[in-house]
């Protein structure tokens, strides 16, 4: 099953960081809730890099809704307090 899907429709969970204001650190680690098509990763990174969060943020908070119309949200991977 995995091998067949990997050949026909490869998908990946995207992990990266976004800018955050009002926190001690300047970047907030985020990830997609579910895998997205591998072909959309570059476009997804452009959309994510244009996003900024504001502290406080809790792990699991939605940072970007419906990434590129995929129905997949980008969520925070850690808590970030002011």
Specify the pLDDT at position 6.
80
Task: Please report which helix (H) or strand (E) contains residue 3, including its range.
Answer: helix 2-8
The predicted model scores a pTM of 0.91
Work out the percent of the chain whose per-residue pLDDT is above 70: 100
* Cβ-based neighbours of 53, under 8 Å, separated by 6 or more: 18, 19, 20, 21, 28, 63, 76, 80
Specify the pLDDT at position 27.
98
């Amino acid at each position: 099953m995995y091998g067949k899907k990997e050949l026909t429709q490869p998908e990946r969970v995207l992990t990266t960081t976004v800018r955050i204001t009002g926190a001690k650190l300047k970047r907030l680690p985020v990830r997609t809730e579910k895998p997205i098509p591998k072909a959309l990763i570059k476009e997804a990174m452009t959309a994510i890099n244009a996003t900024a969060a504001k502290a406080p943020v809790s792990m699991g908070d939605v940072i970007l809704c419906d990434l590129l119309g995929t129905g997949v949200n980008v969520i925070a991977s850690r808590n970030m307090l002011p």
